[in-house]
């Protein structure tokens, strides 16, 4: 596998760790701009206004995050400021600029940014900003693709279609930042063939990096309740190992694999329990590659129309998202910043 750790060492010359930052963003799939309730697996109670009381200034979040990493690891060459919870492009572009610049400049060891977002929430102005930031620093935009199948996106209550993902990638390509796609394996109703179709789309669209998650359920979410009620079941460990290897065999060798399983706090996880032991799961995946004598990209075949030759489409950001971005007050973390 073209692992993330090795990629970061090649690029930055040593271990680089991400530090999660919370700027108090919400999500258009929670506040009603495109839907309410959020994705069925997402614990979006944490996007409520009460979160603001727990927020700290960006500098303080970075300081604490960096300290926590230094306790765990001896040698760290630098850090990536990771805007992780909620939809981290869901604000006016001048505020995004303020908060991203702050994260990039406030601590000398911060070497880049990672920005998690939805594919329907990257208007041109935002992509232009990220392109500009990427001229000075490493920037990764992490899109929640999850699946290419609209029926699965509907089941998850994503409130966007795969066409939105295609539109976002086709407008993001060639701008100098990394395009990363989140994929979920084990969505009820998806066959192995359907998951392999998602793998092939990664190559067609030209993602630079991927994060693969098994579907997992946490407490307090619609999915968690369905699992507890016995209405939905999660993929078995062995099936997941086989499916991840099948998936990665279809991913181009140069695509960086940033994650191969999901992660949730143990006291919060409903199922499956096997994803808590990430290290042994990773070993099993590597053993399965060895047993098959294959590797990432063994079954990859480049698409007929190369990603670089795909036409750049018009911006399909929904009007309701644009309106809500303009209506909203200042980002909570910027209010704290004073």
Residues that bind ligand SF4 (CB under 6 A): 27, 29-30, 38-39, 42, 44, 86-87, 118, 144
Q: How far is the CB of 209 from ligand SF4 (least distance, A)?
A: 18
H or E stretch at 17? strand 16-21
Note whether 272 and 233 are within 8 A (CB): no
- Comparing CB distances to ligand SF4, the nearer of 50 and 191 is 50
> From the DSSP assignment, how many helices (H) and strands (E) are in the chain?
12, 9
* Closest to 37 (Cα-Cα) out of 28, 200, 306, 267: 28
d(Cα 245, Cα 196) in Å, to the nearest integer? 11
Q: How many CB atoms lie within 10 A of CB 308?
A: 8
Min dist. Cβ of residue 29 to ligand SF4 (A): 4
HSE (side-chain half, CA atoms, 13 Å) at 15: 9
In the complex, minimum distance from the CB of residue 43 to ligand SF4, in angstroms, rounded to a whole number: 8
CB nearer to ligand SF4: give 42 or 260.
Answer: 42
Cβ closest to ligand SF4, residue 17 vs residue 29: 29
Which CB atom, from 152 or from 296, has the smaller least distance to ligand SF4? 152
Distance (Å, rounded) from C-alpha 170 to C-alpha 143?
13
**Is the Cβ–Cβ distance between 316 and 163 less than 8 Å?**
yes
256, containing H or E segment? strand 256-259
Nearest approach, Cβ of residue 40 and ligand SF4 (Å): 9
CB of 262 to ligand SF4, least distance (A): 12
Do residues 232 and 54 make contact, with C-beta atoms less than 8 angstroms apart?
A: no
Q: Which burial class, exposed, middle or buried, applies to 266 when counting CB atoms under 10 A from its CB (0-12, 13-18, 19+)?
A: exposed
Nearest to 59 by CA among 26, 105, 25, 116: 105
Nearer to ligand SF4, 186 or 297 (CB): 186
**Mode of pairing for the β-strands spanning 178-185 and 209-214:** parallel
For residue 15, the minimal CB distance to ligand SF4 (Å) is 28
Q: Are strands 138-146 and 16-21 parallel, antiparallel or unpaired?
A: unpaired
Nearer to ligand SF4, 38 or 65 (CB): 38
Least distance (Å) from ligand SF4 to the CB of residue 122? Answer: 13
Of 222 and 303, which has the nearer Cβ to ligand SF4? 222
């Amino acid at each position: 596998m073209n692992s993330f750790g090795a990629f970061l060492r090649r690029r930055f010359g040593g271990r680089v760790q991400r530090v999660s930052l919370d700027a108090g963003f919400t999500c258009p799939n929670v506040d009603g701009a495109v839907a309410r309730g959020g994705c069925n697996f997402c614990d979006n109670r944490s996007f409520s206004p009460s979160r603001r009381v727990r927020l700290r200034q960006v500098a303080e979040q970075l300081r604490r995050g960096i300290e926590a990493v230094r306790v765990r690891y001896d040698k760290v060459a630098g850090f990536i400021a990771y805007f992780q919870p909620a939809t981290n492009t869901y604000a006016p572009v001048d505020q995004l600029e303020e908060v991203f610049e702050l994260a990039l400049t406030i601590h000398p060891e911060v070497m880049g940014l990672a920005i998690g977002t939805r594919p329907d929430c990257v208007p041109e102005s935002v992509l232009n900003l990220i392109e500009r930031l990427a001229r000075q620093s490493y920037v990764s935009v992490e899109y929640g693709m999850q699946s290419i199948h609209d029926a699965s996106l509907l089941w998850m209550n994503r409130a966007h279609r795969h066409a939105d993902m295609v539109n976002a990638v086709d407008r993001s390509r060639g701008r100098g930042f990394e395009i990363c796609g989140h994929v979920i394996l084990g969505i009820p109703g998806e066959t192995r063939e359907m998951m392999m179709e998602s793998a092939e789309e990664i190559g067609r669209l030209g993602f630079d990096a991927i994060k693969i998650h098994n579907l997992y359920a946490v407490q307090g979410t619609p999915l968690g309740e369905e699992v507890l009620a016995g209405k939905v079941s999660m993929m078995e460990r062995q099936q997941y190992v086989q499916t991840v290897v099948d998936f990665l065999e279809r991913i181009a060798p140069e695509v960086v694999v940033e994650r191969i399983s999901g992660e949730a706090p143990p006291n919060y996880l409903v199922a499956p329990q096997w994803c808590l032991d990430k290290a042994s799961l990773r070993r099993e995946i590597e053993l399965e590659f060895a047993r098959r004598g294959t590797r990432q990209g063994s079954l990859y075949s480049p698409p007929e129309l190369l990603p670089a030759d795909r036409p750049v489409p018009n911006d399909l950001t929904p009007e309701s998202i644009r309106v809500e971005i303009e209506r909203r007050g200042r980002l909570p973390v910027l209010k704290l910043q004073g």
